[in-house]
A and B are shown apart, each in its own frame.
Chain A
Amino acid sequence: MLFNSYEFALLFLPLFMAGFFIIRKALREKPAADKVLTCYCLAGSLIFYALFGRRNLIVLGASILFNLVILLLIRKCTADKVKKVLLFAGVAGNCIALLFFKFAGVFFPVAISFYTFNQISYLVDSYREKSEDKITDYLLYILFFPKLLQGPLMRLEDFQREKRASFEGVLDWNMLMKALLLFSVGLFKKVILADTFGAAVDFGYSSLESLGSLEAVLTAVFYSFQLYFDFSGYCDVAAAVCMMMGMELPLNFDSPYRAVNIVDFWKRWHITLTGFFTRYIYIPLGGNRKGTARTYLNLMIVFLISGLWHGNGFTFIVWGAMHGVLYVITRMLMGDRKNIETGNVFVRTVKTVLTFAYVTAAWVFFRANTVSDALKLFTKMVTGGKKALPAGFSSCFQLDEIWYILKVTPVMKLSFAWDVCLWGFLAAACVMIFFNKNAIRKVKDCRIGLGSTVLTFVLLAWSIVSFAGVSTFLYMNF
């Protein structure tokens, strides 16, 4: 079940939440509360995932079974060497399964990249910290539906802490309204913004031969926007669902396109994935403890693996390499300086624009079907010439609800009337991306009242009636 579906927004979520609040209140301070609520959340999560079909469920079940066996063996075993071998076998098994589904071309199970990383994280942390969690705790950590499909990736101890806070908490109406506001913002980002930019991007990439320079540049920029709104929209919804229950998920996006260099970018973009790679790949490889050259090599390895994780084409390796190379160069230039935020407003603005341009260029490889297509888009940026934006490109932004109103206003008399929605979307996206605070922080700070309630209503209603025919979340395929 997708977050941007009628089934989720109108049926599953309200029923699940109502049940959760009732059980939590009924069992408040009773010994069985934790067990019952854990089972309730597990049942809900299984229903949520089961609706993706039997094949997906079987693969998830197999993954859980395999990891459970390894986990129990590690716990039972006393010899350190055997434990290490078991851990290695567990991690290798998970990686092989992930690689198999990524490259074998049979089918790609929903969310396998994310739950596999959670499995690895759980195995390694259990091995290191010799934890003795209950099986139901492990299952809920893997299956918990708000973070199952696309993360955020979370460490076991953080999840357990948040789970306790949630199960022992009481219904906070003020927080519930904030969560609903965040939920509506997340849906709006996905359904209205990401999918609208996505339609234009699809148009651009499907007509590479005939692109003009402006259209080629906009296609690349719009993909940067689409990806951000899509994934951060999903994360906002996930965070909102947890907030309703009194849990806090780790921040995954922190205004990433406001980064002043690539190192800064990776502290803001998909933060929990960066954390995972640091903890489970970069540090085990030696991190920065084995000299400067080795540090840079380790960084490059991490970025190449990140590229592979995101997709199975050569384009993803190029994307990873582009980030890796600039990251290493930036680290070299930064030396020991940890403080990223240097320079006055002008310098910061220039740095931000350049970083965004580079990240956007790398996303071109991420989106293109082949390296040759990506290069074609770059070529068109230079050689495409001055052409009017094609109607098919501009019309992606002419949402009926906006376009019908514009058509009866004087705006239609302007020479650029046909493109006015496109520029409006671009301007709104730029404000949200470059000038606004992160949605989660903003919602936390906001005061609940009439204004926020009306805003929640408008965004929710608009998004829900726009569900039919909308695409799936991009990151679910990774």
Chain B
Amino acid sequence: MDNNKKDKNSIGKRCFLALLAMLLLFFAACSCLVIYVDPFFHYHEPLEGFPYIVDNQLSQNPGMAQNMKYDSCIIGSSMTVNFDTDDFHEFMGLNTVKLSYSGAYPKDDSNILSIVFDRSTYARHSRDVKAVFLAMDVPTMTAQTDTTKYPLPEYLYDDNIFNDVKYVLNKDVLLQYIMRPLIQKKGSDLSEIYFSWWTPEYYNIQWVMHTYEEPEKNPEEVTWEMVYPKTKENLEVNILPFIEQNPDTEFYVFYPPYSILYWHNVMQENSYDATFAQYRYIAERLLEYDNVHLYYFQNMEEVTDLNNYADYSHYKPEINRYMVECFANGTHEVHSVDEMDNELLKMKQIIADFDYDTLFSKDW
């Protein structure tokens, strides 16, 4: 009986050692593969010739900001996803990386800008940041200053190497970002990453109006006093410090050309005057800096034609390309608060002239 138990114990010990060895080998192999290929660019610049798939803003933006070679970047919400970075090269001679976060709050912009301007990264050792193209989404400026749109995979944003285990021993990373591209042999075109609604069929008035959900009328007016504190705080905490601390970088800040329906939402939310005051205030604060180029695109002719949109705010890629041309030649640039007041007056006139009644009276 004792011998039997001893035998079992001895087999058990050998099996345990075998299991330990197998697990260590497996984990080591997975880790080495992930670190070598590094599909989220967390450790090093991309491997030459590997067909990287880039489709995950939360997981891949920090690595791209750290370890890619670029001299300019696109920051902001889904208003920036349809920029083609080749256009920036064509019109401005820049090597641009897209670091958009769909639905970005100011804190999301701040998080990624912190990495962009981190002097210790490979990206900054190789090149300085000549330009930042930042979409200024006014509706998000009343968010909490420390709130991100989605929970972040912290292990890809911090310097703690121990939590990197979530990256190096991760089935999705191994299968979707290493094995899949290896099998498909086709990676993402970095100039077009994160493209959404990029085919023409998305852009027509029928689709926009059919899917449009009109907000309920807010009986209480949203006043400037209500939106001012958070707008100021977000500017001062999440945006302006980067502009101040990097005087050699040109910041192209632009108000994206939402459609005329956006202004209907503003009126339904009863925040018309407060919203215009926000636009003016943000412009006033930004124009204090010599390295800021401010663009107001919202009173472009195209905003009243809903055939240019996929919904009440998302415009077609041709408009993105036009905006890059403007960044290069200065069209729509606002140089002073007076000019901004003029632009806002024009905007108000467009809203006043637009025939919302006819638009909503039709059955779409």
Q: Are B11 and A449 in contact (CB under 8 A)?
A: yes
B179 interfacial by beta-carbon distance below 8 Å: yes
Q: Mark A79-94, 1 if CB is under 8 A from B, else 0.
A: 0000000000000000
B154-169 vs A, CB cutoff 8 Å, 1 = contact: the mask equals 0000000000011101
- Verify A468–B12 contact, CB threshold 8 A: no
* Known contacts A400-B171, A404-B175; A177/B12 CB under 8 A: yes
With A400-B175, A461-B26, A468-B172 in contact, is A6–B9 under 8 Å at CB? no
Closest residue of A by beta carbon distance from B165: A6
B35 to chain A minimum Cβ distance, whole angstroms, is 15
Q: How far is the CB of A172 from chain B (nearest CB, A)?
A: 6
A173 & B169 in contact (Cβ 8 Å cutoff)? no
User: Of residues 19 to 53 in B, which have CB atoms within 8 Å of A's CB atoms?
Assistant: 19, 22-23, 26-27, 30
Q: A448-B8, A448-B11, A449-B11 are in contact. Are A180 and B172 (CB under 8 A)?
A: no
**Per-residue 0/1 for A465-478: is the Cβ within 8 Å of any B Cβ (1 yes, 0 no)?**
11111000000000
Q: Is the CB of A466 within 8 A of B12?
A: no
Contact of A457 with B by CB under 8 A: yes
**Residue from B5, B10, B11, B166 in contact with A468 in the complex, judged by beta carbons closer than 8 Å:** B166
Query: A10 CA to B27 CA in the complex, in Å?
Result: 11
Known: A400-B176, A467-B166. A448 touches B23 (CB 8 A): no
**What is the minimal beta-carbon distance from A25 to any residue of chain B, in angstroms?**
14
Do A172 and B9 touch across chains, with their CB atoms under 8 A apart? Answer: yes
- Cβ–Cβ contact A173 & B165, under 8 A: no
Q: Number of residues in A with C-beta < 8 Å to the partner?
A: 29
Q: Measured between alpha carbons, how far is A74 from B10 in the docked complex, in Å?
A: 50
| Cβ distance A459 to chain B, nearest Cβ, rounded Å | 11
The docked-state distance in angstroms from the alpha carbon of A6 to that of B163 is 9
Q: How far is the CA of A371 from the CA of B227 in the complex (A)?
A: 40
Identify which of B9, B171, B174 gathers the most chain A CB atoms within 10 Å of its CB.
Answer: B171
- Contact (Cβ within 8 A) B11 A469: no
C-alpha gap A177/B16 in the complex (Å): 6
Q: Does A131 contact B (CB under 8 A)?
A: no
In the bound complex, residues from chain A placing their C-beta under 8 Å from that of B26 are 457, 461
Closest to A180 in B: B19
Asked whether, in the complex, the Cβ of A465 is within 8 Å of the Cβ of B30, the reply is yes
Are B174 and A465 interface neighbours, CB within 8 A? yes
Contact of A177 among B19, B22, B172, B183 (CB under 8 A): B19
The distance from the CB of B116 to the nearest CB of chain A, in whole angstroms, is: 26
> Which residues of chain B come closer than 8 Å to A456, judged between CB atoms?
19
Q: Chain B residues near A404 (CB, 8 Å)? A: 175, 179-180, 183
The 4 closest A-B pairs by CB, nearest first: A173-B12, A174-B12, A400-B175, A173-B13
**Interface, chain B (partner A; CB < 8 A):** 5, 8-13, 15-16, 18-19, 22-23, 26-27, 30, 165-167, 169-172, 174-176, 179-180, 183
Q: List 23 A-B contacts (CB under 8 A).
A: A10-B165, A172-B12, A173-B11, A173-B13, A173-B15, A173-B16, A174-B12, A180-B16, A400-B179, A404-B179, A404-B180, A404-B183, A448-B8, A449-B11, A453-B19, A453-B22, A454-B22, A461-B22, A461-B23, A462-B171, A465-B30, A467-B166, A468-B166
Binding site for B on A (CB under 8 A): 6, 10, 172-177, 180, 400-401, 404, 448-450, 452-454, 456-457, 460-462, 464-469
